[in-house]
Structure 1
Amino acid sequence: MAAAAPPPPPTPAPEPAMGPPEDSPVGHPMFARIRLATPSDVPHIHKMIHQMAVFERLTHLCSATENSLSSTLFSPTTKPFHSFTIFLLEVSPNPFTDSVITDPSFTPVVKVVHLDLPIDDPEKETFTTNAVNDVSVAGFVLFFPNYSTFLAKPGFYIEDLFVRDCFRRKGFGKMLLSTVAKQAVKMGYGRVEWVVLDWNVNAIKFYEEMGAKILHEWRVCRLTGDALEAYDSSNSSETYHCARSS
C-alpha cells in the first residue's frame, strides 16, 4: 500500500482590506448651511416662490415681485424673529469658509450630508451665491410670530417651506423645519404651526414623521382681493343702526 500524501501547507490568511473604518462616512459629502436671509438674497427667494407656486398649481395667485418682497421683508423696521424672518438653505461640495453672521441673535447652522450619488443641479448657475466656494441656494423657510391666547405664549407661523426639486428627499426640509422649531424653543415660544395642501400626501407624511399633528377639524379662513378691499373705510358708505326694543 502506498503511503498517504502529506497534507497541503496551510493557506495564508488574506490580508485585511485597507479602507475606512466601518463607522466612517462614505459617499459624496455635501455641506449644508442655514443662515438668515439678507436683501441681496431676494432674487433667489423670488425665483423659489415662483417655483413653489408652480408646484402647488397656484401661479394665478402669485403676484409677488422682487421689489415688493424687498420692501416688505427687509424694511428698516423688521427684526429677525420679531417680524418676517427667512432662513436660507445653502449647499456646497466644499466646506464653507465665509462668515455670514448678519445678526447676533442667530448663528448659522452647518451640517455635512453624505450622499450616495452627487446631485445634478440643472439650475446651479441661477442659484449661485458664492462662485468661488461653489455655494448655491437650495431652499428657504419664511415664518413670523403669532400668539396663542390658550397658551398665553407667542409662537411661530410658517408661511412657506420650500426645497428645490433636485435637493428633495435628502433631509434638507427636516433641517429647515428643525431650525425653526429649535429657535422657538430657545425663545420660550409655545408652538410652531403651518398649513399643508390636502393633496400633498408626501408633505403630510413628512410633517407627521417630524412629530406634527394634522388638525383635520380646522379650516383656513381668508379675506383677500376684492373681498378685503370691500372693507376700505374711505369707500364705504355702510351705516349701522341699533334698534332699541321697548
Structure 2
Amino acid sequence: MAAAAPPPPPSAAAITLPESTPSGHTLFSRIRLATVDDVPHIHKLIHQMAVFERLTHLFQATADSLAATLFPPNAPPPFTSFTVFLLELSNSPFFPSQNPHFTPVLKPHHLDLPIADPEKEIFRSSAAGATGDVTVGGFVLFFPNYSSFLAKPGFYIEDIFVRECYRRKGLGQMLLSTLAAQAAKMGYGRVEWVVLDWNANAIKFYEQMGAEILPEWRICRLTGESLQAYANLNI
C-alpha cells in the first residue's frame, strides 16, 4: 500500500498593508479673462512688478485709470485690444465654467508643501462664484500687434508677473503657454515681449521655453515731455 501523501503546508497568513496616505499638497490653478471687477488686484500686481523691476519712479497708474483704459464702456471683444489673463489659485478644485470668448484653463500642481501666502487676504479673488479660498497669483497683459515680415498679426506682452511666493512652480510658464495657445488658435504668427538685461533668471527661463532673445534690438520710446515736445514740433 502506498504511503499517504504528506499534508499540504499551511498557507501563509494574508498580509494586510496599511492604506497609503497621500503626501505633499495639490495647488489648483485657473487662468481666466479678467474683468473690470479685477482692476484693484491688477493695480496691486502692476505695482509689485514695478517694485521688482526697480521702476517705481515710472509708476503712475491708478485703479481708476486702469479701469477706464482696460475696460472702457463699449469695449471691443477680448483679444482685439488690451486683454488681461488673470491667474487664480486655490486649495480646492475649480468648477469648470464657460465664457463666450475664452474657456478658463484649469490645472493641478503637485507640491511638496503648501505655500505660505502672506498676502492671501488682500489678493482674495472677487470673481463671481469664487470661494473664499481663491487667491489672485499673477497676470499677463497683452494686445495685438502686426509683423509685416510674416504678414500676420501677433500678440505683444506688455506685462507678465507672478507674485513672489508662487514663483518657480510652473505658473509663469502656464500663463505664457495659455497665451501661445490662444495665438496659435487664432492663426497668429508670433508672441513677443521684452526682458530686462539684468534679470538672468527670467532670460534663462525664456530660453528654456524656446524663446529667442534678440540682443541686437533696442527699445525706442517717446513719452512724457519728450512726447509732447515732438507732437508740437513744427514740421
Superposition TM-score, scaled by structure 2 size: 0.88
SS of corresponding position for 2:230: coil
Count of aligned residue pairs for this structure pair: 221
Shift of 1:93: 0.1
> Using the alignment, how far apart are the partners of 1:201 and 1:61 within structure 2?
22
Aligned partner of 1:229 in structure 2 is 228
Aligned partner of 2:29 in structure 1 is 32
Aligned partner of 2:213 in structure 1 is 214
Alignment of 1:110-149 (within 5 A): 110-129=106-125, 132-149=131-148
Q: Deviations for 1:156-182, whole angstroms, at most 9, x for unmatched residues?
A: 000100000000000000000000000
> Using the alignment, how far apart are the partners of 1:96 and 1:124 within structure 2?
17
Shift of 1:17: 4.1
Is contact 2:27-2:89 (8 Å) kept? yes
Q: Given the superposition, is the C-alpha separation of residues 189 and 60 from structure 1 closer, same or farther in structure 2, using an over 3 Å criterion?
A: same
Unaligned runs of 5+ in 2: 1-11
> Using the alignment, how far apart are the partners of 1:146 and 1:174 within structure 2?
22
> Using the alignment, how far apart are the partners of 2:75 and 2:33 within structure 1?
16
Task: Kindly provide the amino acid, as one letter, of the partner of residue 157 in structure 1.
Answer: Y
Is contact 1:26-1:114 (8 Å) kept? no
Task: Kindly provide the amino acid, as one letter, of the partner of residue 68 in structure 2.
Answer: S
Alignment partner of 2:71 out of 66, 69, 74: 74
Is contact 1:48-1:164 (8 Å) kept? yes
Is contact 2:85-2:139 (8 Å) kept? yes
SS of corresponding position for 1:129: coil
> Using the alignment, how far apart are the partners of 1:33 and 1:83 within structure 2?
22
Unaligned runs of 5+ in 1: 1-11, 240-246
Superposition TM-score, scaled by structure 1 size: 0.84
Is contact 1:139-1:162 (8 Å) kept? yes
> Using the alignment, how far apart are the partners of 2:177 and 2:16 within structure 1?
41
Is contact 1:92-1:133 (8 Å) kept? no
Aligned partner of 1:243 in structure 2 is none
Is contact 2:124-2:132 (8 Å) kept? no
Q: Given the superposition, is the C-alpha separation of residues 13 and 115 from structure 1 closer, same or farther in structure 2, using an over 3 Å criterion?
A: farther
SS of corresponding position for 1:145: strand
Alignment of 1:37-52 (within 5 A): 37-52=34-49
Is contact 1:94-1:133 (8 Å) kept? no
Identity of aligned residues (%): 68
Shift of 1:20: 4.9
SS of corresponding position for 1:107: coil
Q: Given the superposition, is the C-alpha separation of residues 107 and 214 from structure 1 closer, same or farther in structure 2, using an over 3 Å criterion?
A: same
Aligned partner of 1:198 in structure 2 is 197
